[in-house]
Structure 1
Amino acid sequence: MAPSTLQNGGFVLGLLGSAALIAATAMGRWSVKDRSGDLITSMYTYRGLWRDCETTAAGLTECRPLYGMLGFSGTFQAVRALMIVGVVLSVLATLLSLFSLQCLSMNTMQDSTKAKMSLTAGIMFISAGVCGIAGASVYANQIVSSFQTTANNNYNNNFGGGGFGGQYGGGGGMGVGIPTYTFGPALFVAWIGGVVLLVGGILKSVAFREMIKNDKPRYPGVVYKTQSHAHTDDHTDGGNKYV
């Protein structure tokens, strides 16, 4: 496959993956209230990385920002950090990938420099994809643990639990028992964006190998053949070859 095709494909996938990762980080629905078996459906609660929100049946929404640092668990802070690092890496890689495209002619930039930029962008895309997938997976694992713990507490009429939701500062006043949470759409957006970034990074890395291969100097075989004849003539006199 041509290096330009690999480069363009990697750039488009990296751009889409970056947009998905940014959208997932900013979305407020990383976990949503599980309303299966809930008799009180007038309150809809969802949580994100930056705020908690409650929406009533009348359409009124109240959100509580999560600006503090000390009131949250280390796991929650790690998820935030992974998503932020993924966003920064993906944006920088997108810019670097843009300038490394072969279709973008720059008089002062050599092809070898573009090849190195393509490889760097590919590595950054892969790293950003890993950060996005890891952040969403850690958050999803905590939701599963919290769901099981909270469901057992509600069943046993124990209102002192909290699980993963406890790091947000509780969640009382939303119905009978402690609300349980399930996967929100932001998790799936982060997973998809991470996979797309991985594929885009691989394409950019393969493009680097093809660009380096095409950039190697090639010498026509006739040059070596001519030199060989000249060397033979220097050591031959009247059909006798000197050693």
Structure 2
Amino acid sequence: MGKRLIQVLGFLISSLGWVFVLCTMAMDFWRTSQLGGQGGSFIIKVAWYWSNLWKDCYTDSTAVTNCRDFPVLWSVKPFVQAVRGLLMCGLTLGFVAVILCFVGMECTYIGGAQKIKDKLLLAGALFHIAGCVSDVSAYCLYINRVARTAFAGRVGPGVLRYDLGPPIFLGLVGCFLILLGGIFYAVTVYRVIFPKSKVVYAYGGGTYMAPRSRGRTMYSGYYRASRQNGPYRGSQLSKSSRISGLSQTTRTHISERDAFV
């Protein structure tokens, strides 16, 4: 029951994080810049400049917005193109992961035997983690380009200092949720796919460790006899040597008696 609850919780968390990342691609205000003057004791906003992955916009004090769409695919700024590609790659991996995890969950009755379902769930968790890494790389690249201008000591004429917008923070929260969901998945099936070696006590205190791989034989492992009973092979050899000594002595006595007669 606990395993199913953890898997359902991981599915909800990772799916919500994937939706957060998907929404950020269509949101505005990835970066914002404000220009204005001071009048009296209040700050009067004159203009706002903001951008997303698809356009640059300008909003004046009368709430009129003018936008310029980015040109065709091969003439976009390189870092914007890289952010787009990384996000699309991460979303694709996340979509495949959602399908694999849905099929591999214990509470669903599709996907085959339970061993196969566990492997599908582990594969889905790895896809989630890979997609999360791709998404985080995209956001970090965009943050780096904004921070380089914002914290620069001197900028050229006409260059604006931008601040980070809400989509960046929403995307980072989504990445955290995706990673957390993938960890939940992996925890529920890791011990099933990679079990620990079991120790079985036998032969009066000796230990036998079960093999972890299929290629080893059933009797492979480590065996150590008990010290209380003495070495096993030594006791067998001592008994056989004593029996052979008795037989030799008996034969000697019989042969001497026959010779005397």
Q: TM-score, normalised by structure 2?
A: 0.66
Q: Percent identity?
A: 25
* 2:91 aligned with 1:87: yes
Deviation at 1:82, TM superposition (A): 0.9
Secondary structure of the 2:63 match is coil
Unaligned 5+ runs, structure 1:
160-176, 215-243
> Could you say which residue in structure 1 is the equivalent of 2:47?
43
Asked if the contact 2:34–2:47 (Cα under 8 Å) also holds between the matched residues in 1, the reply is no
> Could you say which residue in structure 1 is the equivalent of 2:8?
8
Unaligned 5+ runs, structure 2:
196-261
Which one-letter code corresponds to 1:52 in the other structure?
D
Which has the bigger relative contact order, CA under 8 A and spacing at least 6? Answer: 1
Which one-letter code corresponds to 2:129 in the other structure?
I
> Could you say which residue in structure 2 is the equivalent of 1:120?
123
Asked if the contact 1:118–1:207 (Cα under 8 Å) also holds between the matched residues in 2, the reply is no
Q: Which aligned segments of 4 or more residues in structure 1 are displaced greater than 6 angstroms?
A: 36-40
> Could you say which residue in structure 1 is the equivalent of 2:108?
104
Q: Which has the larger strand fraction?
A: 2
Which one-letter code corresponds to 1:121 in the other structure?
G
Secondary structure of the 1:152 match is coil
How many residues are paired up?
A: 191
Q: Distance in 1 between matches of 2:167 and 2:133?
A: 16
User: Any idea what the Cα deviations from partners look like across 1:21-69, whole Å, max 9, x if unmatched?
Assistant: 1011221221111448787723211111111122222222222222423
Deviation at 1:208, TM superposition (A): 1.8
> Could you say which residue in structure 2 is the equivalent of 1:179?
160
Q: TM-score, normalised by structure 1?
A: 0.70
Secondary structure of the 2:154 match is helix
Deviation at 1:110, TM superposition (A): 1.1
70-79 vs 185-194, which deviates more?
A: 70-79
User: Any idea what the Cα deviations from partners look like across 1:138-165, whole Å, max 9, x if unmatched?
Assistant: 111110112234x623xxxx42xxxxxx
> Could you say which residue in structure 1 is the equivalent of 2:203?
none
> Could you say which residue in structure 2 is the equivalent of 1:152?
154
Which one-letter code corresponds to 2:8 in the other structure?
N
Deviation at 1:3, TM superposition (A): 2.4
CA RMSD of superposed structures (Å):
2.4
Asked if the contact 1:133–1:195 (Cα under 8 Å) also holds between the matched residues in 2, the reply is no
Which of these two proteins has the greater Rg computed from alpha carbons?
A: 2
Counterpart mapping for 1:40-79 below 5 A: 41-79=45-83
